[in-house]
């Protein structure tokens, strides 16, 4: 789908790039020639991922420890990256925290914890990098990983849901405000893609996954490669005129839940025959 080395000499930062979808995107972009910087709290996890990806692709992957909740730490990390690589071309705001719970069971600290990682962490990084780009008169691309419930809302993941909604709004707002500086900003809204981080926290047993798959029109979960390809497209110049968009990649899941008559899926051929006969009568 992509020409080799389309990201050659481009430096792209991925928050939460040592695990799950962040790691898969790091591997894809690295295989297309990018110079990747992965940041998160667990430096040992980052180092291992960086070594493994580098070995596979032959391109540089730099692990840097960072808690995206701390603005000052982000500005320091950005200085380090600029010193080493000269400039930054792209950012994927991918890091997140989440768990399922009835909202009334949550402590206020639990609520803060998720909002601080997902919303504050994303606007922290976006603001720090945006200021730098604008000051240096450089252009760049930001990709925010949200969820389908950023638009629809969802019970039982409310701190995550309101934070992702904020990130989606940030995407739309800044794509307009910073378009004049040559900064593009888009979002991906994934449906379920199995990762250790998400599955451990959101799928207490296999019956949850089965229920989820059953309501997805394509009757399967997403493959990491599918999401990584979309991310590569949205960061590349192939999508140069796409700005302020959110692309859903969920096998049709959210629409299936939204359409008024989609529940008729459960009817058998015999039941349809009976309905038809009844209507004719």
Which one of ligand HXC, ligand NAP, none is in contact with 122 (Cβ closer than 5 to 8 A by kind)? none
Q: Are 72 and 99 contacting, i.e. CB atoms less than 8 angstroms apart?
A: no
Which helix (H) or strand (E) segment holds residue 63: the answer is strand 61-65
Q: Are 94 and 118 contacting, i.e. CB atoms less than 8 angstroms apart?
A: no
String marking each residue 43-82 x if it binds ligand HXC according to CB under 6 A:
----------------------------------------
Which CA distances in Å does 259 have to 45, 146, 149, 255? Answer: 42, 22, 15, 6
When asked if residue 94 is in the footprint of ligand NAP (CB under 6 A), the reply is: yes
238 catalytic? Reply is: no
Burial 88-126 (b: 16+ CB within 10 A, else e): bbbbbbbbbbbeeeeeeebeeeebebbbbbbbbbbbbbb
Q: Are 188 and 227 contacting, i.e. CB atoms less than 8 angstroms apart?
A: yes
Stretch that binds ligand HXC, among 165-173, 178-186, 193-201, 241-249 (CB under 6 A): 193-201
When asked if residue 85 is in the footprint of ligand HXC (CB under 6 A), the reply is: no
Q: How far apart are CB 160 and ligand NAP at their closest, in Å?
A: 7
- 3-state helix, strand, coil split of the chain in percent (to 5) is 55, 15, 30
Stretch that binds ligand HXC, among 25-33, 196-204, 223-231, 266-274 (CB under 6 A): 196-204
Q: How far apart are CB 227 and ligand HXC at their closest, in Å?
A: 12
3 state SS of 56: helix
Q: Are 194 and 221 contacting, i.e. CB atoms less than 8 angstroms apart?
A: yes
Stretch that binds ligand NAP, among 74-82, 179-187, 194-202, 234-242 (CB under 6 A): 194-202
Q: How far apart are CB 5 and ligand HXC at their closest, in Å?
A: 31
Name the site residues for ligand HXC (rule: CB under 6 A). Answer: 96-99, 101, 106-107, 109-110, 113-114, 147, 160, 192, 197-198, 201-202
Residues in contact with ligand NAP by the rule CB under 6 A? 15-16, 18-22, 40-42, 45, 66-69, 94-97, 117, 121, 145, 147, 190, 192-193, 195, 197-198
């Amino acid at each position: 789908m992509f020409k080799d080395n389309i990201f050659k000499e481009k430096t792209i930062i991925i928050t939460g790039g040592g695990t799950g979808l962040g790691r898969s995107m790091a591997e894809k972009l690295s295989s297309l020639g990018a110079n990747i910087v992965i940041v998160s709290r667990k430096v040992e996890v980052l180092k291992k991922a960086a070594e493994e990806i580098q070995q596979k692709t032959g391109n540089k992957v730099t692990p840097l420890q960072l808690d995206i909740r701390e603005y000052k730490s982000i500005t320091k990390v950005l200085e380090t990256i600029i010193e080493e690589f000269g400039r930054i071309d792209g950012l994927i705001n991918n890091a997140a925290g989440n768990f399922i719970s009835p909202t009334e069971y949550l402590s206020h600290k639990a609520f803060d914890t998720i909002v601080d990682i997902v919303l504050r962490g994303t606007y922290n990084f976006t603001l720090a990098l945006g200021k730098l780009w604008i000051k240096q008169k450089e252009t760049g691309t930001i990709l925010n990983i949200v969820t389908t419930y950023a638009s629809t809302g969802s019970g039982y993941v409310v701190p995550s849901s309101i934070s992702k909604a904020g990130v989606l709004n940030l995407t739309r707002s800044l794509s307009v405000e910073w378009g004049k500086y040559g900064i593009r900003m888009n979002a991906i809204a994934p449906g379920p893609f199995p990762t250790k981080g998400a599955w451990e926290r959101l799928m207490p047993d296999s019956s949850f996954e089965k229920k989820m798959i059953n309501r997805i029109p394509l009757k399967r979960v997403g493959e990491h490669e599918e999401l990584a390809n979309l991310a590569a497209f949205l960061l590349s110049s192939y999508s140069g005129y796409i700005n302020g968009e959110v692309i859903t990649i969920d096998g049709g899941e959210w629409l299936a839940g939204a359409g008024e008559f989609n529940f008729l899926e459960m009817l058998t051929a015999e039941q349809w025959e009976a309905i038809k006969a009844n209507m004719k009568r």
